[in-house]
C-alpha cells in the first residue's frame, strides 16, 4: 500500500526512528542509575570474567559459578546479612577483595 508516495513500511520506519533513538537514551541512563544489588553484582562479575578470560588457565565455566554465587549473596542480604558478610561467605581471594572495594 502506498501512502503519500511511500510504501507503508517506509512510513512506519520514518515515524518510529526518532522515538526509538530517544527511548534508548532514556533507558540507558535510567538503568545505570537504578541498578539493584543483583544487577550490580552481575555486572561486576561479568567484567571480572572478561578480564580473567585473557589470562592463562582461564576457566570458561567460571562466569556461571560467579553468577550463582551472586544470587546467593542477594539471598543472604535479603535474610539480613550485610553485603560484606555475604561476600565473605560466598567468595574468597582477589574476587572478594574486588567486590569489597566496589561496595565500600
Q: DSSP code of 7?
A: E
Same domain, 12 and 54: no
Residue 68 Cα distances to 34, 38, 88, angstroms: 22, 11, 15
Per-residue cell: 88 = 565473605
**pLDDT tens readout for residues 24-62:** 444 443 343 346 999 999 999 999 999 999 999 999 999
Same domain, 27 and 77: no
Same domain, 43 and 91: yes
Per-residue confidence (pLDDT) for residue 104, from 0 to 100: 87
Show the domain range for 28. Answer: 2-33
Is pTM beyond 0.75? Reply is no
Same domain, 17 and 45: no
Amino acid at each position: 500500500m502506498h501512502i503519500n508516495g511511500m510504501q507503508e513500511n517506509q512510513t512506519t520506519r520514518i515515524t518510529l526512528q526518532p522515538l526509538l533513538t530517544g527511548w534508548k537514551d532514556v533507558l540507558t541512563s535510567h538503568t545505570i542509575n537504578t541498578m539493584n544489588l543483583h544487577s550490580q553484582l552481575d555486572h561486576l562479575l561479568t567484567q571480572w570474567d572478561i578480564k580473567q578470560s585473557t589470562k592463562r588457565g582461564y576457566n570458561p565455566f567460571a562466569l556461571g559459578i560467579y553468577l550463582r554465587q551472586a544470587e546467593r549473596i542477594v539471598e543472604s542480604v535479603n535474610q539480613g546479612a550485610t553485603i560484606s558478610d555475604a561476600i565473605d561467605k560466598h567468595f574468597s581471594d582477589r574476587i572478594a577483595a574486588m567486590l569489597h572495594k566496589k561496595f565500600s
